Structure 1
């Protein structure tokens, strides 16, 4: 019974994530979410007392997926490249996980859903860039400007992901960070990676002699 309840709850979170991602918080309804999950409105309210509570669960899952992706980043290449790798991991999450996209949209739709999804990853990137400040690998660059560039490119990548989703690109189930595929040729994450490959020599400057 508990296993069945857990499956129903996860199905509701996934259906709600799709609804929030596609239509935003205000337009989402518990009736529509229940129908998409193949269950009744009563079952929805049994697991979640309100739309806000369901949105909190979706947002928390998106944040958790993002945190795990950040933790998996290899830091051996130094803080600057680690910061860029973190940003790339966020883009892959946006590309492949509906709960992450829903969390990003809920950040904009609601003012009462801490911890802010963007703050979770941007703070991690900022801390990594702070380690890079003054090191030879980041000597020519202002870390605050690099952070601003990262923010602009991630938000641009999110917009691109949403445009591709409207065109019918596939998605994975919410919470599947361990199953994220590698960067695909022609994907948004592939473009993000190639852009940084072009930008990093400028940010890092010439190799020290």
Structure 2
């Protein structure tokens, strides 16, 4: 019985993640989420006392997936390249995990959102960039400008991921959003490593 309840709960979280990702928090309903999960509204409210509680669980899963991806980054290439690798990992998460996309959207949709998804990964990137400041390979890089660049690029990649999922990405472009993001970062890294401080 417990195994069945756990499966139902996970199905609800997955259905809710899809709903929040596609339509946003305000438009999502417990009835619609239950229907998408193949269960009743009563089953939804048995597992989650409110839409906010369900959104908190989806958000927590998105944050956990993102944290795990950040922990897998190899730091041997140095802090600047590690920071860029972290950003690339975040974009791959957005591309491949509905809970991560939902967490990103919930950050924008809810004022009462628990620990901010963006803060989880941007703080990790910022810490790596702080380590990079003053190292021989990027002595002249400005960490705050590099962080701003990463934030802009990840936000743009999120928009691109959403467009691709709706079939709205440019047909002339080969590869996924994460492939493009990685190639752009590789192109920009030499400039960042050699950039004058401002």
Q: Deviation digits for residues 34-82 of structure 1, max 9, x if unmatched? A: 0000000000000000000000000000000000000000000000000
Q: Deviation digits for residues 61-112 of structure 1, max 9, x if unmatched? A: 0000000000000000000000000000000000000000000000000011
Distance 2:9 2:88 in 1: 30
SS at match of 1:141: coil
1:126–1:36 distance in 2 versus 1, CA, 3 Å: same
Greater RCO structure (CA 8 Å; 6+ sep): 1
1:60–1:3 distance in 2 versus 1, CA, 3 Å: same
Deviation at 1:205, TM superposition (A): 2.1
Q: Deviation digits for residues 104-162 of structure 1, max 9, x if unmatched? A: 00000001122100000000000000000011121221010000000000000000000
**Cα-Cα RMSD:** 3.4
1:104–1:170 distance in 2 versus 1, CA, 3 Å: farther
Q: Does 1:199 align with 2:188?
A: yes
Runs of 4+ in 1 over 6 A off after TM superposition: 168-171, 206-209
TM-score (norm 2): 0.94
Given that residues 157 and 181 in structure 2 are in contact (C-alpha distance below 8 angstroms), is that contact kept between their aligned partners in structure 1? yes
Deviation at 1:168, TM superposition (A): 8.6
Given that residues 141 and 195 in structure 2 are in contact (C-alpha distance below 8 angstroms), is that contact kept between their aligned partners in structure 1? no
1:123–1:184 distance in 2 versus 1, CA, 3 Å: farther
Given that residues 184 and 190 in structure 1 are in contact (C-alpha distance below 8 angstroms), is that contact kept between their aligned partners in structure 2? no
Could you tell me which runs of 5 or more consecutive residues in structure 1 were left unpaired when the two chains were aligned: 172-182
Could you tell me which runs of 5 or more consecutive residues in structure 2 were left unpaired when the two chains were aligned: none
Q: How many residues align?
A: 198
1:206–1:45 distance in 2 versus 1, CA, 3 Å: closer
Distance 2:31 2:173 in 1: 36
Given that residues 58 and 103 in structure 1 are in contact (C-alpha distance below 8 angstroms), is that contact kept between their aligned partners in structure 2? yes
